């Protein structure tokens, strides 16, 4: 071969090799695969995945919420996750921790200030007005569930994305409404196996509260030097929140502070007494808590929080809370005198309480997956299993299976790890005989049944 041609060929080879290496490099870079670029993403601080090992708690929670809402005739509502920032500022109030420090607020691409909902009540009140719900028979009873966002300091039971089950009754001022709501929350926990007690107080009307605040501030000013720095700041911004302080020094000062209950109007006192009478009737354990004011501005009269019965109330936050908000709808531009009441129950804290109760050996209600596994062996059985599995599902019989695993041993091992009580096994012989084997996983005993009776047979096992 002449030397010129040889050099040309070498150069072409070099160019091709270089191109190949460039292509390889750019693919690797795109995949983030170079050592420098390899980064493992974690969820944003304070936000958590709900993972399969917790599925049984969450399914039980959603089921309990839905069933209770249906039983007490609440209708489902779902509002957007993002709303105009002003909606929350006007509802929850300036000076509250939620509005001042905890909202995820940003400008959207049109320059509108929007916020991710830190709670449901403001959005539901907005929706009540936007959808003309004042023209429906009153009161309107609504329930919802979903994620909420607060830029809180993360710790156990406090997250930046969390979930609530919420109920709101809009368009009625009757103590029985408050008692029904408190009862639903109480039943929600009880149905899941958690005993709670309700801490309750009345903060009266706006006017009662204004009179009380003057008295409270007068008292706290006289003790200012003994207050914590945070409470000193709150003295001008939001004095009622001082009552909630966890600081030991503050607590001492608060022992002799005037109590809001003494400042209630007769109407508010009577209303509160009626709520308590209904709670007595329902045998709901409650504790009168004169310092309970809650952290959102829209409340009036009844306010309450749920705590695990006999639990440590100071270090762990409330499981849930709620109260009356008679002025909010009007304040947001709705019809005059549209009183309302509701609650929000924090579901991450509910899962934590369920786990803690289990640790103490208490029985909580979780929703386990079906306890039957469907195994198949061989191509013919796999095809048949596909059909049988679909037919079972249509008959409402839910079994687990994995068609991607071929060996029976691997399938039985999986069934064992899922702690199923029974496994249905379909092999080539069973396909031909139109039978199926049912294996009791605890005893290893097997019986052969007719495929026609399979659905009934499995239903009986699932019922046990």
Residues of the shown chain interacting with ligand HAM in the complex, contacts defined by CB under 6 A: 119-121, 150, 152, 157-159, 162, 164, 166, 168, 317-323, 325, 342-344, 346, 348-349
Q: What is the largest CA-CA distance in the chain?
A: 113
CB-based contacts of 23-28 (< 8 A; 24+ apart in sequence): none
Q: How far is the CB of 152 from ligand HAM (least distance, A)?
A: 4
Bridge pairing between strands 320-324 and 340-346: antiparallel
Q: How far is the CB of 97 from ligand HAM (least distance, A)?
A: 9
* Closer CB to ligand HAM, 326 or 348, in the complex: 348
* Closer CB to ligand HAM, 95 or 157, in the complex: 157
According to DSSP H, which parts of 223-265 are helical?
229-237, 248-254
Write down the residue that tokens 């609650």 correspond to.
Answer: 343
Q: How far is the CB of 67 from ligand HAM (least distance, A)?
A: 20
Tokens matching residue 118? 């830190």
* Closer CB to ligand HAM, 157 or 290, in the complex: 157
Q: How far is the CB of 100 from ligand HAM (least distance, A)?
A: 14
CA atoms of 397 and 438, how far apart (whole Å): 15
* Closer CB to ligand HAM, 96 or 423, in the complex: 96
* Closer CB to ligand HAM, 43 or 218, in the complex: 43
Write down the residue that tokens 């709620």 correspond to.
Answer: 322
* Closer CB to ligand HAM, 344 or 427, in the complex: 344
Q: How far is the CB of 153 from ligand HAM (least distance, A)?
A: 9
Q: How far is the CB of 355 from ligand HAM (least distance, A)?
A: 15
The contacts of residue 323 (CB under 8 Å, 6+ apart) are 203, 294, 299, 300, 301, 302, 303, 304, 341, 342, 343
Residue nearest to ligand HAM (CB): 346
Q: In what order do the strands lie in the sheet with 104-107?
A: 82-84, 113-116, 104-107
CA atoms of 294 and 343, how far apart (whole Å): 12
* Closer CB to ligand HAM, 120 or 389, in the complex: 120
Phi and psi angles of residue 130, each rounded to the nearest 5 degrees, phi first: -60, -35
Give the C-alpha distances (Å, rounded to integers) separating 282 from 180, 230, 305, 443: 9, 39, 17, 46
Q: How far is the CB of 56 from ligand HAM (least distance, A)?
A: 20
């Amino acid at each position: 071969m002449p030397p010129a041609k040889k050099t040309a060929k070498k150069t072409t080879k070099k160019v091709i090799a270089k191109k190949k290496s460039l292509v390889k490099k750019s693919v690797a870079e795109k995949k983030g695969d170079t050592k420098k670029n390899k980064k493992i993403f974690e969820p944003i601080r304070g936000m958590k995945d709900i993972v399969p090992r917790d599925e049984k708690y969450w399914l039980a929670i959603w089921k309990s919420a839905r069933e209770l809402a249906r039983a007490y005739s609440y209708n489902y509502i779902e509002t957007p996750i993002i709303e105009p920032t002003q909606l929350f500022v006007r509802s929850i109030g300036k000076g509250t921790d939620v509005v001042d420090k905890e909202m995820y607020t940003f400008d959207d691409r049109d320059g509108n200030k929007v916020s991710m909902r830190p709670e449901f009540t403001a959005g539901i009140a907005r929706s009540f007005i936007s959808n003309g719900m004042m023209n429906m028979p009153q009161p309107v009873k609504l329930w919802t569930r979903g994620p909420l966002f607060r830029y809180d300091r993360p710790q156990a039971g406090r997250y930046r994305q969390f979930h609530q089950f919420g109920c709101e009754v809009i368009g009625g001022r009757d103590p029985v409404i408050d008692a029904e709501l408190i009862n639903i929350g109480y039943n929600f926990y009880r149905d899941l196996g958690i005993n709670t007690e309700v801490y309750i107080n009345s903060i009266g009307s706006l006017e009662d509260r204004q009179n009380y605040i003057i008295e409270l501030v007068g008292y706290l000013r006289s003790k200012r030097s003994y207050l914590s720095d945070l409470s000193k700041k709150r003295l001008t911004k939001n004095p009622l929140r001082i009552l909630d302080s966890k600081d030991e020094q503050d607590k001492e000062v608060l022992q002799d502070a005037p109590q809001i209950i003494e400042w209630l109007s007769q109407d508010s006192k009577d209303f509160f007494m009626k709520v308590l009478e209904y709670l007595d009737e329902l045998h709901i354990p409650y504790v009168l808590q004169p310092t309970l004011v809650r952290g959102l501005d829209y409340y009036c009269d009844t306010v309450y929080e749920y705590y695990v019965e006999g639990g440590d109330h100071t270090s762990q936050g409330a499981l849930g809370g709620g109260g009356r908000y008679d002025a909010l709808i009007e304040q947001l531009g709705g019809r005059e005198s549209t009183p309302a009441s509701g609650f929000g129950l924090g579901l991450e804290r509910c899962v934590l309480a369920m786990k803690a109760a289990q640790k103490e050996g208490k029985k909580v209600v979780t929703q386990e997956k079906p306890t039957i596994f469907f195994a198949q062996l061989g191509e013919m059985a796999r095809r048949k299993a596909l059909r049988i599995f679909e037919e079972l599902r249509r008959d409402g019989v839910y079994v687990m299976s994995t068609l991607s695993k071929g060996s029976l041993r691997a399938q039985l091992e999986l069934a064992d790890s899922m702690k199923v009580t029974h496994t249905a096994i379909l092999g080539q012989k069973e396909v031909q005989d139109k039978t199926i084997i049912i294996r009791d996983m605890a005893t290893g005993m097997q019986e052969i049944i007719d495929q026609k009776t399979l659905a009934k047979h499995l239903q009986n096992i699932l019922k046990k």
